[in-house]
């Protein structure tokens, strides 16, 4: 053995837990497909500028957490720390804005951040990401939020909470920024935090250190300084959410960790995950396209952590993805029977039935153990004596009942038994 292991802060997802992982990812993406969102694949690395300009120069993601390297051509590339900026780059590069709007996209994949590994927070993680681009409509904001909620509902989660606020826009944020800068200037902050306050004072509100949070109790809130238009937008979003049966908690101090959010901003948290309670979130980002060199079009979306949602599923004791590995299993005893088993398993799979057989030289006892581990409800045992009689033994693993079936009828009988 070489002693090689997965890099620190990463992990392998293996059976049987991987079945739960896939089930969570499938359930989170199903509402997006039903709503007409189209699937997109983008590279797991981009030019570094995609994230430094898109995510924000002042964010911890850009300043501390990105995996950045120069390739052999001297180009600065970065493993994606999140998925939205790459999707927006693709939206701009391929001029998707020239078609019908909004453009509705979704993807799922890996992201990478260099941070201290801890429970529920890793350096390699998987997200489901969706974006609705090109239209600024409160009803679209509500659709996006509701689709996230639907994914959690479909999983059976109940101990989650939707936090909601508005971060204003260019019509009201400059005035609010001045108020916040004036407030922060009076606080006892370290030099790095003061520099951050000069670049993006909203980021200071997101500082998790107790000594900083203790001084922010009287900080002005963006939601109290919205312009008439952004207030009307936020009111409309909340009305549409009410109409969609979505409940939320007002979170006026909510600040997402990326710089591009405007107006509607939200986060999903789960009560069973301790301090690292966020399982997803998002919001509107009407300036992101322009920041990346594209047209000045609006957008809204969210990302949900598949790994973190799986932890929430486990915290609630839900049996997501706990299903039998296969439906049918064929146990051949002898070379001639092996040929029949391979053919029968192939026929079953082509018919849409999950099936497997024994590989390698095993006796009846070892083969039946393999059949039992497979989770199959029906097992066919075929030995030399059975073949001489032209039959196979079909066993219902749930009841223990066993009966002979003519070889020529094995496929249809087994298919009918499994589907029945």
Binding-site residue numbers for L-histidine are 82-84, 113, 127, 131, 256, 260-261
Binding residues: 82-84, 113, 127, 131, 256, 260-261
Report the C-alpha gap between 27 and 40 in whole angstroms.
Answer: 18
Report the C-alpha gap between 261 and 104 in whole angstroms.
Answer: 18
Count CA atoms closer than 13 A to 259's CA, side-chain side. 21
Whether the ω angle into residue 16 lies within 30 degrees of 0, i.e. cis, is yes
Do 115 and 276 meet the contact criterion of CB atoms below 8 Å apart? no
Report the C-alpha gap between 383 and 390 in whole angstroms.
Answer: 10
Residue 77 forms beta bridges with which residues?
47, 69
The set of residues, in sequence order, having a beta carbon less than 8 Å from that of 172 and lying 6+ positions away, is 225, 226, 227, 230
Backbone angles phi, psi at 284, to 5 degrees: -85, 145
Question: Treating both helix axes as pointing N-terminal to C-terminal, what angle do 191-199 and 173-184 enclose, rounded to 10 degrees?
Answer: 160
* Encoded tokens for 86: 């790459």
Report the C-alpha gap between 86 and 101 in whole angstroms.
Answer: 19
Do 132 and 299 meet the contact criterion of CB atoms below 8 Å apart? yes
The residue behind tokens 């430094």 is 52
Report the C-alpha gap between 22 and 115 in whole angstroms.
Answer: 25
């Amino acid at each position: 053995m070489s002693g090689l292991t997965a890099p620190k802060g990463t992990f392998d997802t293996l059976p049987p837990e991987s079945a739960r992982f896939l089930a969570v990812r499938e359930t989170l993406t199903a509402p997006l497909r039903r709503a007409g969102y189209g699937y997109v694949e983008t590279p797991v690395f981009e030019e570094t500028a995609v994230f430094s300009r898109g995510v924000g120069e002042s964010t911890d993601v850009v300043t501390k957490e990105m995996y950045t390297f120069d390739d052999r051509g001297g180009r600065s590339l970065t493993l994606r720390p999140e998925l939205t900026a790459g999707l927006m780059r693709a939206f701009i590069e391929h001029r998707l804005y020239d078609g019908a709007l909004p453009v509705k996209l979704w993807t799922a994949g890996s992201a990478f951040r260099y941070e201290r590994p801890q429970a529920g927070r890793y350096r390699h993680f998987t997200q489901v990401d969706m974006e609705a681009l090109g239209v600024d409509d409160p009803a679209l904001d509500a659709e996006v939020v509701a689709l996230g909620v639907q994914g959690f509902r479909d999983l059976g989660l109940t101990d989650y909470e939707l936090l909601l606020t508005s971060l204003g826009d260019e019509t009201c944020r400059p005035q609010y920024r001045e108020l916040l800068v004036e407030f922060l200037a009076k606080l006892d902050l370290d030099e790095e935090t003061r520099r951050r306050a000069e670049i993006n004072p909203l980021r200071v509100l997101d500082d998790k250190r107790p000594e900083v949070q203790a001084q922010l109790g009287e900080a002005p809130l963006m939601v109290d300084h919205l312009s008439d238009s952004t207030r009307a937008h936020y009111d409309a979003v909340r009305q549409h959410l009410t109409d969609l049966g979505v409940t939320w908690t007002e979170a006026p101090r909510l600040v997402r960790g990326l710089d591009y959010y405007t107006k509607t901003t939200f986060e999903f948290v789960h009560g069973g995950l301790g301090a690292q309670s966020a399982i997803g979130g998002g919001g509107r980002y009407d300036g992101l396209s322009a920041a990346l060199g594209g047209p000045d079009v609006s957008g809204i979306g969210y990302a949900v952590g598949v790994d973190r949602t799986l932890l929430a599923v486990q915290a609630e004791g839900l049996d997501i993805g706990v299903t039998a590995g296969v439906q049918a299993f064929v146990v051949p005893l002898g070379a001639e029977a092996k040929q029949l088993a391979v053919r029968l398993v192939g026929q079953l799979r082509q018919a849409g039935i999950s099936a497997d057989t024994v590989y390698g030289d095993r006796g009846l006892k070892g083969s039946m153990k393999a059949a039992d581990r497979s989770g199959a409800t029906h097992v066919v045992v075929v030995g030399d004596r059975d073949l001489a009689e032209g039959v196979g033994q079909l066993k219902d693993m749930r009841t223990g009942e066993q009966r002979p079936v003519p070889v020529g009828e094995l496929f249809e009988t087994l298919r009918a038994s499994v589907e029945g």
